Structure 1
Amino acid sequence: MRFLGKSLMGLVLLALTLGLLLWSGVTVRDAVLARLNEEPRVPQARERVFTVNVVPLEFQTVTPDLAAFGEVQSRRTLEIRAAASGTLIDLDPAFVEGGQVEEGQLLARIDPADAQSALDRAESDLLDAEAESREAGRAIVLARDELAAAEEQVDLRDRALQRQRDLLQRNVGTTAALEDAELALSSARQAVLTRRQALASAEARIDQAATATRRAEIARDEARRRLADTEIRAQFAGTLSDVTVVAGRLVSTNEQLAQLVDPGALEVAFRVSTQQYARLIDEAGQLRPSPVTVTLDIYGTNITATGQLSREGASVGAGQTGRLLFASLDAPRGFKPGDFVTVTLQEPPLPYVARIPAAAVDAADEVLVLAEGDRLEAVTVQVLRRQGDDVLIRARDLAGREVVAARTPLLGAGIKVNPLRAGNAAPEAPEMVELSEERRAKLVAFVEGNTRMPAEAKTRILAQLQQPQVPAEMIERIESRM
């Protein structure tokens, strides 16, 4: 009986177990069918709103600036060279690197002993030539007197011949006396020819003496110039550079001793692109005399000078592009030849343009404009110039509208934004509360006993709690956790 009872109890438990399993399976099946038959529930997503800075578009006439880099150079640089060879003496103390000299100042002297000797010899030769000229003058006077005396003798001999002929016709004279008179006249005439030849020689001697005197004067002047070449003087007031001489040095002819630079005649040479150059010329193709500002940046300290665009290079050098321009400086105080400077010059004014940040324009020349409902709209604009961190644009029907100042990959057309304008009020300062000593002690004890708070945050909060006034928001946050 006992065995039968236990067997029946086991069958009952097995039946109950199978019934429960069947009931569980039916319940799961009904739940799955009900889940599958339900309509899908889509969660309501909230639209994300971005906060952006916007700037208004104000179209006006703007004069753009063109920036370039150039080098300061001198318009008046003279190479000081030795015109003679010899030893340098009498070196001026200012004849050093960076020395300031005046116009006509004697910088150095080359030993003038040889040049002085040559000048003395030339002057002596000139004295000899002048003496020869005076002697030739006296000789021609004597030659003329001798010629006059010989001509008088011819006259006398001619009259004597006429008397002998008259006497012979009256049968008083003789033929021998007539022949003697004719011979005497012929000898007198021969003497006149000799005196004329002597006069011609004296006149030639005068010409030769004049030529010799002129040659001696030329030699004297040349000797004086060679003596003057031994003196090295400054041709204009300026500053010396590249000085390579010392007293006692032997220099050769045409050797460069230094360079003289005029610090007041400086200009800047800079290169611009062909497109920029086209904006600087007028309708006739001539370069406009635009004002120029030259800046030398010396570790944050700027030296600035103004000037004017003066001329352009005659040709484009080999391997170079663009155009080489030159600008004269009005008052180049602090500038030196060789300085690398920034050149800023004004271009012709551009009408109806707006200046916006360069970050507002993408690579496709599009900007994001604030439309209705604070949503963004992409608009294509014409970029005319880039001015540092800004650009000058021109667009139609955008006057008075606002554009996004800085684009990000998250922004695009149709996105809703929260615009921040330059005129928006600044955020209010947090409310400050004065704590009692008991309340302060409780707050400090709670913060010090908080083991989950980072050490840096704990130090910062404790330092704020020690102040006379503590932000009310921080007090409420701590007390809510106590």
Structure 2
Amino acid sequence: MRFLARSLSGLLLLSVTLGLLALAGSLVQRAVQDRLARAPFVPPARERVFAVNVITARAQQIAPVLTVFGEIRSRRTLDIRASAAGTLVTLAPDFREGGDVKQGQVLLEIDPTQAQSALDRAEADLADALAEARDAERGLVIAMDTLTASRDQAGIRERAFDRQTQLVERGIGSATSVEIAELAAAAARQSVLSARSDLAQAEARIDSAATALSRARIVREDAARDLADTVIRAGFDGTLSGVTLVQGRLLSENEVLAQLVDPDALEVAFRVSTGQYTRLLDPDGRLLRLPVEVALESFGSALTAVGEISRDSAAVGEGLTGRLILATLGRAQGLKPGDFVTVRVQENPISDVISLPATAIDAAGTVLVVGPDNRLSVMPVTIERRQGDAVLVRGPDLDGQEVVTERTPLLGAGILVRPNRAEAAEAASVATEVIALSPEQRARLVAFVEANSFLPDAVKTRMLGQLEQAEVPAEMVQRLESRMGG
């Protein structure tokens, strides 16, 4: 009986279980059918809005700055060479690398022994030439007197011959006397010819003595100049460079000993492209005297100087392009020849141009402007100059438009944007309110910040630094007091 009751109970539980499973399956089937039959729910689409940084385009007159690199040079550089060979006997204390010398200062002296000996010999030869000239002059006077005496004697002989001839014609004299008188006259004439020859030789001696005297004087001047060349002096005020001398060294003639550089006569040489060169010319094709600024920049510090363009190179140079421009510098304190510097040339101002960031323009020469409905539109522009990270452009109806400063592939015509205006952000930062705290209020706020263990150390340090100022941002004070419950 007990067995039959347990069997009937198990059968009842099994029937109930099967019925519940069947009911659950039916409910699931109806739910799936209802889900499949229901229309899909599509949420309403929302247009995506992009935040962009914009700047208001303002047309103005801007002077472009041409930035290139150049090299500092000296307009006056003199090679100091040994004008004579010999041993270096004297060296000035300032004759060293970087030494400053004055014009006319003695820099070094070469052993003058040989030059002095040559000068002494030249002076002795000059004295001999002077003596020879004086002797020649005396010989000329004697030759002239001898010629005069010979002519007088020849006249007497001629008159005696004429007298003997007249006596023979009268029948008084003899033929022998006439012949003797004629021979005496001929001898007198021969004596005149000899005297004239001696006079010519005396005159030639005078010319030869004058020539020898001139040669002796030239040799003496050369010897004196060679002696003076043993002393080398500074040609102008400047600084010495490339000095490698020591006293006692044997120098050869024309050997380069150092360079004398004028530190106050500096110029900068820089090369520009042909297109840049055309912007530096006036309508007549002459180079403009534009102002120039050079800077030797290194680790936050810089040596600067100003000047103006003076000239350009006469030829391009083999294997080079563009033009080499030279600008004369004014006071260039600290700059040295050979420095590699940054050169900034201020060009003539350009009217009605707009300065935009280089990131605002694409390769096609267009910009994106924000319309009244905050939708973007494309506007073409003409690039006038590129100034580092900025570009000077012109465009029709661009003045007053809000231009997107940073182009991305996601932006284009018709895109809805939320402009972030730099002017508004600047005005908000300027309008930040600051207040002065009383000593008690300041001490209470400092104590609260120091006791607050939830603040990071960096934030706590920054806030304590602001609380130590005379004026504290009102927003920070209000935030701290609200947390204090005051």
TM-based fold match above 0.5: yes
Give me the whole-angstrom Cα distance separating, in 1, the residues matched to 2:461 and 2:42: 47
Check if 1:269 corresponds to 2:288. no
Residues 71 and 339, structure 2, Cα contact 8 Å, conserved in 1: yes
How large is the Cα RMSD of the aligned pairs? 3.4
Aligned AA (1:177):
S
Match of 1:227 in 2: 227
Shift of 1:430: 11
Check if 1:425 corresponds to 2:425. no
Shift of 1:345: 0.6
Give me the whole-angstrom Cα distance separating, in 2, the residues matched to 1:386 and 1:458: 45
Give me the whole-angstrom Cα distance separating, in 2, the residues matched to 1:50 and 1:341: 44
Shift of 1:5: 6.2
Shift of 1:342: 0.9
Give me the whole-angstrom Cα distance separating, in 2, the residues matched to 1:420 and 1:87: 79
Residues 352 and 394, structure 2, Cα contact 8 Å, conserved in 1: yes
Match of 2:355 in 1: 355
Match of 1:26 in 2: 26
Q: How does 1:315-354 map to 2 (within 5 A)?
A: 315-354=315-354
Q: Which moved more, 1:340-349 or 1:45-54?
A: 45-54
Residues 51 and 420, structure 1, Cα contact 8 Å, conserved in 2: no
Give me the whole-angstrom Cα distance separating, in 1, the residues matched to 2:379 and 2:389: 20
Cα gap change, 1:24/1:125 in structure 2, threshold over 3 Å: closer, same or farther?
A: same
Match of 2:238 in 1: 238
Three-state SS of the structure 2 residue aligned to 1:72 is: strand
Q: Which moved more, 1:286-295 or 1:365-374?
A: 365-374
Give me the whole-angstrom Cα distance separating, in 1, the residues matched to 2:154 and 2:318: 90
Give me the whole-angstrom Cα distance separating, in 2, the residues matched to 1:471 and 1:42: 48
Give me the whole-angstrom Cα distance separating, in 1, the residues matched to 2:102 and 2:432: 68
Q: How does 1:173-212 map to 2 (within 5 A)?
A: 173-212=173-212
Match of 1:416 in 2: 417
Check if 1:371 corresponds to 2:371. yes
Cα gap change, 1:196/1:411 in structure 2, threshold over 3 Å: closer, same or farther?
A: same
Three-state SS of the structure 2 residue aligned to 1:374 is: coil
Shift of 1:378: 3.6
Shift of 1:46: 5.2
Give me the whole-angstrom Cα distance separating, in 1, the residues matched to 2:166 and 2:391: 129
Give me the whole-angstrom Cα distance separating, in 2, the residues matched to 1:457 and 1:151: 135
Shift of 1:174: 1.6
Shift of 1:129: 1.0
Match of 2:92 in 1: 92
Shift of 1:344: 0.5
Aligned AA (2:321):
T
Q: What is the TM-score when the length of structure 1 is the normalising length?
A: 0.86
Three-state SS of the structure 2 residue aligned to 1:165 is: helix
Cα gap change, 1:478/1:195 in structure 2, threshold over 3 Å: closer, same or farther?
A: closer
Shift of 1:16: 4.0
Cα gap change, 1:121/1:53 in structure 2, threshold over 3 Å: closer, same or farther?
A: same
Give me the whole-angstrom Cα distance separating, in 2, the residues matched to 1:430 and 1:6: 89
Three-state SS of the structure 1 residue aligned to 2:428 is: coil
Three-state SS of the structure 2 residue aligned to 1:264 is: coil
Aligned AA (1:92):
A
Give me the whole-angstrom Cα distance separating, in 2, the residues matched to 1:416 and 1:62: 31
Gaps of 5+ in 2: none
Residues 52 and 417, structure 2, Cα contact 8 Å, conserved in 1: no
Residues 430 and 471, structure 1, Cα contact 8 Å, conserved in 2: no
Give me the whole-angstrom Cα distance separating, in 2, the residues matched to 1:68 and 1:154: 98
Shift of 1:232: 0.5
Q: Which moved more, 1:200-209 or 1:93-102?
A: 93-102
Give me the whole-angstrom Cα distance separating, in 2, the residues matched to 1:145 and 1:389: 102
Give me the whole-angstrom Cα distance separating, in 1, the residues matched to 2:442 and 2:189: 152
Aligned length: 467
Check if 1:58 corresponds to 2:58. yes
Shift of 1:475: 7.9
Q: What is the TM-score when the length of structure 2 is the normalising length?
A: 0.85
Residues 272 and 323, structure 2, Cα contact 8 Å, conserved in 1: yes
Kindly provide the CA deviation profile for residues 144-182 of structure 1, in whole angstroms up to 9, marking residues without a partner as x: 111111111111112212222222223222221121111
Three-state SS of the structure 1 residue aligned to 2:292 is: strand
Q: Which moved more, 1:211-220 or 1:41-50?
A: 41-50
Residues 71 and 339, structure 1, Cα contact 8 Å, conserved in 2: yes
Kindly provide the CA deviation profile for residues 49-100 of structure 1, in whole angstroms up to 9, marking residues without a partner as x: 4444321100122111100111100111110001100112232222222222
Cα gap change, 1:217/1:33 in structure 2, threshold over 3 Å: closer, same or farther?
A: same
Match of 1:452 in 2: none
Aligned AA (2:428):
A
Shift of 1:412: 4.5
Kindly provide the CA deviation profile for residues 272-300 of structure 1, in whole angstroms up to 9, marking residues without a partner as x: 22222222223333322211111122432
Kindly provide the CA deviation profile for residues 300-351 of structure 1, in whole angstroms up to 9, marking residues without a partner as x: 2222221111222233344433322111112223221011111101223322
Kindly provide the CA deviation profile for residues 213-265 of structure 1, in whole angstroms up to 9, marking residues without a partner as x: 11111111111111111111111221111112122221010001110111121
Residues 49 and 418, structure 1, Cα contact 8 Å, conserved in 2: no
Gaps of 5+ in 1: 449-454
